Amino acid sequence: MRYLGGLDYTVIVVYFAFLVGLGLYLQKKASASVEDYFLGGRQLPWWALGISGMASFLDITGTMIIVSFLYMLGPRGLFIEFRGGAVLILSVMLLWTGKWHRRSQCITNAEWMIYRFGNGFGGNFARIVGAIAAIIGTLGMLAYLVKGVGLFLSMFLPYSPLTCSLVLISIATIYTMMSGFYGVVYTDIFQSGIILIAVVVISAMAIVKIPNAESLSSLAFEVTGQSDWTSSSCSWYTPMPESYGAYRHLMMFAIFYLLRNIFGGMGMGGEPKYFGAKNDRECGTLTFLWTWLMMFRWPMMIAFAVLGLYLVKDLFPDQSVLSQAVTLIKTNLGQIDKSRWGDTLSGIMHHPENYPEQLIVGLKSLFGQDWQTKLHLLSFEGTVNSERILPAVILFNVPLGFRGLILVALIAASMSTFDSTVNMTIGFFTRDIYQGYLRRKATNKELIYVSWAFGIALVSVGFLFGYTVRSINDIWDWFIMALGGGLLVPLFLRFYWWRFNGGGFAIGTAAGITGAILQRIFFPDMDSRLQFVIMVLIGMAGSIIGTFITGPTDRKVLENFYRTTRPFGFWKPLIGILDPEVRVTMLKEHRNDMLALPFTLAWQIALFMLPMQLIVRSYRAAVVTSVIFIVGLIGMYVFWYRNLPEENFPGDVEQIRDSQ
Q: Which residues pair with 570 in a beta bridge?
A: 497
What is the rounded average pLDDT of the residues 620-638? 96
Reply yes or no on whether the pLDDT at 518 is more than 80.
Answer: yes
What is the rounded average pLDDT of the residues 374-384? 86
Reply yes or no on whether the pLDDT at 102 is more than 80.
Answer: yes
Spatial separation of the C-alpha atoms in residues 281 and 336, rounded to whole Å: 54
Spatial separation of the C-alpha atoms in residues 571 and 562, rounded to whole Å: 8
What is the rounded average pLDDT of the residues 552-577? 92
The vertex-480 CA angle with 63 and 287, nearest 5°, equals 65
pLDDT class of 650 with cuts at 50, 70, 90: very low
Question: Are 149 and 240 contacting, i.e. CB atoms less than 8 angstroms apart?
Answer: no
pLDDT class of 457 with cuts at 50, 70, 90: confident
Reduce the secondary structure of 407-422 to three states and give it as a string.
HHHHHHHHHHHHHHHH
| pLDDT more than 70, % of the chain | 84
What's the pLDDT at 182? 54
Spatial separation of the C-alpha atoms in residues 84 and 89, rounded to whole Å: 8
Reply yes or no on whether the pLDDT at 452 is more than 60.
Answer: yes
Question: Are 500 and 544 contacting, i.e. CB atoms less than 8 angstroms apart?
Answer: no
Q: In whole angstroms, how large is the CA radius of gyration of the chain? A: 25
What's the pLDDT at 70? 94
pLDDT class of 7 with cuts at 50, 70, 90: confident
For the chain, first and last CA: distance in Å? 62
Picking from 415, 538, 461, the residue whose alpha carbon sits closest to that of residue 135 is: 461
- Give 467-528 as a DSSP string: TT-S-HHHHHHIIIIIIHHHHHHHHHHHHHBTT--HHHHHHHHHHHHHHHHHHHHH-TT--H
Name the range with the highest mean pLDDT among 108-112, 232-236, 270-274, 312-316.
312-316
Spatial separation of the C-alpha atoms in residues 184 and 423, rounded to whole Å: 8
What's the pLDDT at 54? 67
DSSP 108: S
**DSSP 3-state helix, strand, coil percentages of the chain (rounded to 5)?**
80, 0, 20
Spatial separation of the C-alpha atoms in residues 569 and 621, rounded to whole Å: 38
Spatial separation of the C-alpha atoms in residues 71 and 655, rounded to whole Å: 53
Please indicate whether residue 282 or residue 469 has the higher confidence score (pLDDT): 282
Spatial separation of the C-alpha atoms in residues 185 and 507, rounded to whole Å: 35
Superfamily of structural domain 6-312+400-659 = Sodium/glucose cotransporter (1.20.1730.10)
Question: Are 627 and 603 contacting, i.e. CB atoms less than 8 angstroms apart?
Answer: no
pLDDT class of 186 with cuts at 50, 70, 90: low
Picking from 623, 620, 603, the residue whose alpha carbon sits closest to that of residue 231 is: 620
Q: Please give the helix or strand (H or E) that residue 616 lies within, else none.
A: none
Q: Chain-wide mean pLDDT for the chain? A: 82
What's the pLDDT at 304? 93
Reply yes or no on whether the pLDDT at 38 is more than 60.
Answer: no
- b (16+ CB within 10 A) / e for 244-277: beebebbeebbebbbebbbbbbbbbbbbbbbbbb
What's the pLDDT at 26? 61
What's the pLDDT at 306? 95
Spatial separation of the C-alpha atoms in residues 142 and 463, rounded to whole Å: 7
Q: What's the pLDDT tens digit per position in 605-622?
A: 999 999 999 999 999 999
Q: What's the pLDDT tens digit per position in 401-434?
A: 677 777 777 776 666 666 667 777 787 788 778 8
Q: What's the pLDDT tens digit per position in 337-373?
A: 776 787 788 888 878 888 989 999 999 999 887 888 8
Name the range with the highest mean pLDDT among 144-158, 248-262, 272-286, 583-597.
583-597
What's the pLDDT at 50? 67
pLDDT class of 648 with cuts at 50, 70, 90: low
Q: What's the pLDDT tens digit per position in 587-601?
A: 999 999 999 999 999
Please indicate whether residue 584 or residue 35 has the higher confidence score (pLDDT): 584
Name the range with the highest mean pLDDT among 21-25, 88-92, 423-427.
88-92
pLDDT class of 308 with cuts at 50, 70, 90: very high
Question: Are 80 and 529 contacting, i.e. CB atoms less than 8 angstroms apart?
Answer: no
- Give the burial class of 584: count Cβ atoms within 10 A of its Cβ; 0-12 exposed, 13-18 middle, 19 or more buried: exposed
Q: For residue 16, how many other CB atoms are within 10 A of its CB?
A: 18
Domain coordinates in residue numbering, the chain: 6-312+400-659, 317-383
What is the rounded average pLDDT of the residues 188-192? 69
Q: For residue 61, how many other CB atoms are within 10 A of its CB?
A: 27
- Give 185-233 as a DSSP string: HHHHHHHHHHHHHHHHHHHHHHHHH---HHHHHHHHHHHH--TTTT---
What's the pLDDT at 380? 85
What's the pLDDT at 260? 85
What is the rounded average pLDDT of the residues 88-105? 91
Reply yes or no on whether the pLDDT at 632 is more than 90.
Answer: yes
| pLDDT more than 90, % of the chain | 29
Q: What's the pLDDT tens digit per position in 430-449?
A: 877 888 778 888 887 788 78
Picking from 150, 270, 240, the residue whose alpha carbon sits closest to that of residue 565 is: 270
What's the pLDDT at 41? 47
C-alpha torsion angle, residues 463, 511, 564, 269 (rounded to 10):
30
What is the rounded average pLDDT of the residues 128-155? 77
What's the pLDDT at 341? 81
Picking from 450, 556, 551, the residue whose alpha carbon sits closest to that of residue 503 is: 551
The vertex-557 CA angle with 554 and 561, nearest 5°, equals 140
What's the pLDDT at 244? 72
What is the rounded average pLDDT of the residues 70-94? 90
Q: Which residues pair with 497 in a beta bridge?
A: 570
Q: What's the pLDDT tens digit per position in 248-270?
A: 888 888 888 888 889 888 988 87
Picking from 508, 450, 465, 512, the residue whose alpha carbon sits closest to that of residue 485 is: 512
What is the rounded average pLDDT of the residues 73-84? 89
Reply yes or no on whether the pLDDT at 603 is more than 60.
Answer: yes
What is the rounded average pLDDT of the residues 183-190? 64
Reply yes or no on whether the pLDDT at 43 is more than 70.
Answer: no
Reply yes or no on whether the pLDDT at 36 is more than 60.
Answer: no
Distances (CA, A) of 470 to 114, 134, 138, 140, 166: 39, 23, 18, 13, 17
